[in-house]
Structure 1
Amino acid sequence: MNAHDPSTSRGNWARWFGLGGSRSDEDESAAGHPGAGPAASETPSDRRRRQILDDLTRFLDTHRLPVTAETLGLAHDIVTGADPPLVRLVTERVASGAPLTLEWLEQSAALREATDGAQGVHTLARSLERAIAQFAQTATRARTAASGYNKALAAHVDEMGASDSCEVPCSSITTLTTIAREMLRRTRDIEREMNRSERETQTLQQNLEDARREAEIDHLTGLPNRRAFEAVFAEEFEEAQAGRDALCVAFCDIDRFKRINDTHGHEAGDRVLRTVAQALAELSNDRCHVARHGGEEFVVLLRGSNLKEACAILDDAREALSLRRLVNRVTNTPFGRISFSAGVADAHAYADRREALRAADEALFRAKLSGRNRVMAAGLDDWAGFRVVPAAPPGDDGEP
């Protein structure tokens, strides 16, 4: 069964939270094992739906959560793996032994809504930038037209004023000349205002661009942040589909980063984050985009690379980092082996970008469960890898 199959994803997450049966139990049920009851006549879709309902019930009951529309929605996203960021938060909380309370879930949901709201503000800023750019073009055209009109009008006024003979009364000529000169004065005022508006618009455009660039940078690592990545992914996904170009997306997560923080302190942990960010940033070019997705997790977009090639690129970076021996210069204490795990997905193998990200996230999850410090591909039961990960020296598991 492929790793991106919804039932497989659900089973992985459910077993991690202590829900659902064993793999053998699932196989027996799928085969119509005697005593399975209605399952023998159910379609695969029926079984999946029933399993989701069972997982939802067990999840709410295990954590003693009330049955409300909100908790049902959150529980569904958790047990099916539909919301990878929320799943990771819940996984960490369950693993730490902390209770999974309604208050905590509501806070997590509020945080997610805040993130979505920030994305909405970003989209609005983009629309405003386009509107300002269009206004600037209109102002430029209007200023140019006004300038040309002024020159032509000035020439005619000078010609009329210099004329000694005419077929109409000279008083009429004088009146027309006066009116024309007033019109000329007003159009020149308009031209000056248009010039001023154009300069202000250009300044506002630059300020918006600077603010947007500032908002899209992760200031700890210097990499683009999640918001910037989402915009790039949307653009690259559309262009790659139109041009039938290969496109892969990967999640990379620093192995046992919490232990680094606990052992060496958060300032040292920040330095490790920057080191890993620099190692991944070396992959960046116009066909490869690297961003910090949040916490100790990074996301990589590889255009023009198929699944095997993308895995090889990340595996090279993984090996190069894991072979380094970093030392905390503040305490002169070795960090031990710093490594990351990665999950890679072919973006075109899924219905949309969200599904591709979810598949890469699950592949990362499998890489973690398989021992860390490795790259795994979505859609494969196993990834043989490109090199054998060396065993840690006796008494040293590669951790700080």
Structure 2
Amino acid sequence: MDPIAQELNNTIQQGAPHVYEMLSDMGKKLFFPKGILTQSAEAKVKADKLNATIGIAKQGNCVLSLSCVTKYITDIEPDQYLPYSSSFGEPELRIKWLKEMYIKNPCLEGTTLSLPIVTSGITHGVSIMSDMWVNADDVIVMPDMIWGNYNMIFRVRNSARFATYKAYDQALTHFNVDDFERVVREQAALNDKIIIMLNFPHNPTGYTLTKEEAVRVSDIIIDVAQKGTNVVAGCDDAYFGLFFEEQTSKQSLFAKLAGKSSRLVAIKLDGPTKEDYVMGLRTGFTTYGIAADTDLAGVYEALEKKTAGCIRGSISNCSHLSQTILIKSMEDENYERLKQEKFDLLKSRAMAIKKVLKDPKYADGFDVYPFNSGYFLCIRVKGVNAEALRIHLLDNYGTGLISIGENNLRIAFSCIEAKDVQTLFDIILSGINDLRK
């Protein structure tokens, strides 16, 4: 093992031994190299005469650039986006995002967190989590309906096992906390370490826990950790903030889990992708919340270096331009107002759907999974195959939906205007009736 990795491991072992136990084999081997980047950083500070360290082309004091590129970016200087960013991410953006996290999640008051590491979107953050914390044959507790990319990341890349619980009761009226608890406690009894993915607002059903459900879920996880099972809780908060109903919990489960047990590692995977409607900028964050016996700051620094090492060893660093745009947007005086406008637009669509679906005529064709947030809702079709219906709607009605398993269709109301809601569900019902004949 590289001596730098061993040094980081020693820091984690001494300060938080259970956190060290939970690292994957790769996680234990990861480190941030004291190579070109470190030497270049030293030269940036001390080389006041000549600096020939890093592979960036320069002319005079400015980065070398092509006008056919820079002419499209008029309000940002080339030196603010063309050079490489740090593998950790731009320091200013990391600090801003952390401050926002405390504002959005008041439960975090008094809890010390790591500084967020910038990832190339939240998917990249999930992949890093898998590399750092998941070994082959580790068990991951998941709902029975999941974002499909979890299969590619956890099962294909890292050979994990899924233990699934029924996300909703049979009548589709509420989140099935009882079955969640059953599976978590069963797996805790069978394994020294379990990983739990918590994805709210949920993809594909568009559901976020109520305040009461959030308390129960977090209490179950903390209790399992306190009783001796190591728990890695990954909070996939891709659609965070898009909460449309009063009783919905408005804070991440991460806020209720971070720092609550020495055997619990809470990982927040979030970013501006959906929160700020910048899907293509591919910027996300990975933040840790742990409890350490000693040297919490040192343990966090070690975890940040391992995470940055994982990035350095794959994509090197994330888009500097995207990070610079986000920094400037967060400083804009209209930032909060503009976000509220887009939130109100999405909420109006969700409310329009709820109003339309009160019509009892739809109950003959499908049931609706609970939804109160995010981009999506799901329906459970009756008497027809979901994939056959998807193809039929596409071929005969020019309407595209996503089938999930034999019975479910996912509907992205994020891209459907409120005026088209009635038409959409009438088409779905017609398609179901067509296939029944």
Report the TM-score when normalising by structure 2.
Answer: 0.20
Question: Which structure's relative contact order is higher, taking Cα pairs within 8 Å and 6+ residues apart?
Answer: 2
Report the TM-score when normalising by structure 1.
Answer: 0.21
Q: Computing the radius of gyration over CA atoms, which structure comes out larger, 1 or 2?
A: 1
